[in-house]
């Protein structure tokens, strides 16, 4: 299928939701940090399949083998039954986090489950008036109605009013604003340790410490949305491990399934026990196939020392980008934590930079008109990192001279 055929089928058969952001190629196959389109062109993937999903790269051998073996035994049973892959995955995640698990299919679903759990916990402990959820401006928590209400970006919300009530948005990293917002009505504070979709902005240690203190004082639940930051992307298994702060509840997805859809909400006691049978459920949540794949993902992260690799390759990319920044005034700032990287530009040429990189075989994404975002997989080699940096240097220095 060529790109013209793909566009024709999209117009005829798909809702018009992705047209502005689709890259002009039809992807046929992938391996590690590389993709190939149906015309045989090769690309270096600095977006992990798009939006930080394939943290192990494409078609990692452990993922492929887990799919092959599990698909030959049992693909799906609902939560009316026990299945070994689900229980093994729950055990592994519980060992890593120290709590218990609920499985679903996406990050938005994990966030929805976290919101419901926090409200149920507050309802049991205090009553229905304790239902406010504090989140931050520029945050992104998903596009289902509850997650959308939590998201601190009005541009995503305007056409879908009225959204669920009880969500309060405050400026990120502003301790005084957070202190003013959290009160007796607050059931939860929900934060991304690093704002991802809005441009890789890490929380300060003081801010997360204040969130923990305020939640403890007001009997509220501290939720960390680690849908994008979790599973090794920042150089640690979870981004909160860069800080001396631990949440009560955490949402995971994206990298957990190595490309297979799965999400998880993890909760520590006493919050975890607030959910009772019938409070929440998911037909496909923790189904044998995605659960077996997620176990393989965790195995690969451990066995291949990918946390250290993500930290080292992320540092190599960040340092290389800062060298580019020194050479061209077009680059005004580089922000990085592991393999979450943003490059701010002095002029609105992000789309041009993306297109020029694409023409040279490098895939990246933009945030607005003046920011590039890089989310490469943890299996990226030094040679591939350097190749990507060389392409970025060529493109950004050329645009800087225009």
Q: Please state the φ and ψ torsions of residue 373, each to the nearest 5 degrees.
A: -130, 135
Residue 129 annotated to the active site: no
Q: What does the buried/exposed string (b/e) look like for 220-246 if buried means 16 or more CB atoms within 10 Å of the residue's CB?
A: bbbbbbbbbbbbbbbbbbbbbbbbebb
Site of tokens 């061209």 = 328
Site of tokens 């960390």 = 224
**Is the separation of the CB atoms in 131 and 122 below 8 Å?**
yes
Q: What does the buried/exposed string (b/e) look like for 131-161 if buried means 16 or more CB atoms within 10 Å of the residue's CB?
A: bbbbbbbbbbbbeeebbbbbbbeeeeeeeee
Residue 225 annotated to the active site: yes
**Is the separation of the CB atoms in 306 and 56 below 8 Å?**
yes
* Catalytic one of 254, 275, 344, 354: 254
Residue 73 annotated to the active site: no
* Catalytic one of 37, 45, 225, 248: 225
- Nearest CA to 98 among 217, 215, 271? 271
* d(C-alpha 345, C-alpha 374), whole Å: 14
Name the 3-class secondary structure at 239: helix
Give every CB contact of residue 30 below 8 A, 6+ residues apart in sequence: 36, 45, 49, 54, 57, 58, 59
* d(C-alpha 99, C-alpha 226), whole Å: 15
Q: Please state the φ and ψ torsions of residue 267, each to the nearest 5 degrees.
A: -140, 140
Range list of β-strands (E), 92-178: 100-104, 132-136, 167-170
* Catalytic one of 46, 103, 140, 167: 140
Cis geometry, peptide bond prior to residue 268 (ω within 30 degrees of 0): no
**Is the separation of the CB atoms in 321 and 301 below 8 Å?**
no
How far lies 155's CA from each of 91, 108, 165, in Å? 39, 18, 17
**Is the separation of the CB atoms in 392 and 331 below 8 Å?**
no
* d(C-alpha 156, C-alpha 258), whole Å: 27
Task: Show which residues are catalytic.
Answer: 140, 225, 254
């Amino acid at each position: 299928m060529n790109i013209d055929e793909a566009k024709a089928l999209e117009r005829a058969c798909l809702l018009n939701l992705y047209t502005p952001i689709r890259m002009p190629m039809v992807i046929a196959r992938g391996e590690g940090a590389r993709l190939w389109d149906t015309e045989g062109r090769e690309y270096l993937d600095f977006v992990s399949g798009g939006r930080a999903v394939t943290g192990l790269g494409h078609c990692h051998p452990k993922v492929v083998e887990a799919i092959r073996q599990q698909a030959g035994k049992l693909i799906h049973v609902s939560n009316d039954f026990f299945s070994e892959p689900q229980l093994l995955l729950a055990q592994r995640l519980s060992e890593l986090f120290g709590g218990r698990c609920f499985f679903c299919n996406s990050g938005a679903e994990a966030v929805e489950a976290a919101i419901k759990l926090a409200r149920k916990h507050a309802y049991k402990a205090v009553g229905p008036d304790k239902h406010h959820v504090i989140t931050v401006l520029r945050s992104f928590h998903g596009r289902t109605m509850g997650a959308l209400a939590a998201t601190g970006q009005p541009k995503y919300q305007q056409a879908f009013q009225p959204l669920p009530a009880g969500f309060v948005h405050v400026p990120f990293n502003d301790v005084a604003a957070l202190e003013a917002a959290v009160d007796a009505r607050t059931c939860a504070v929900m934060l991304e340790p690093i704002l991802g979709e809005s441009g890789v902005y890490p929380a300060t240690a003081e801010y997360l410490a204040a969130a923990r203190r305020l939640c403890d004082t007001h009997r509220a639940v501290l939720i960390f949305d680690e849908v994008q930051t979790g599973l090794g992307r920042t150089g640690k298994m979870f981004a909160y491990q860069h800080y001396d702060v631990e949440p009560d509840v955490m949402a995971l997805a994206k990298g957990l399934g190595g490309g297979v859809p799965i999400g998880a909400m993890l909760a520590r006691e006493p919050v975890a026990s607030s959910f009772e049978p019938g409070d929440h459920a998911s037909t496909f949540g923790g189904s044998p196939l995605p659960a077996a794949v997620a176990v393989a993902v965790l195995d690969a992260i451990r066995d291949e020392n990918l946390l250290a690799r993500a930290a080292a390759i992320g540092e190599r990319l960040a340092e290389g980008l800062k060298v580019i920044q020194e050479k061209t005034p077009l680059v005004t700032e580089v922000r990085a934590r592991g393999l979450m990287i943003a490059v701010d530009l002095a002029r609105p040429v992000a789309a041009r930079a993306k297109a020029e990189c694409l023409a040279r075989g490098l895939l990246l994404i933009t945030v607005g008109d003046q920011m590039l975002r890089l989310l490469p997989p943890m299996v990226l080699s030094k040679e591939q990192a350097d190749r990507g940096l060389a392409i970025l240097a060529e493109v950004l220095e050329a645009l800087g001279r225009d």
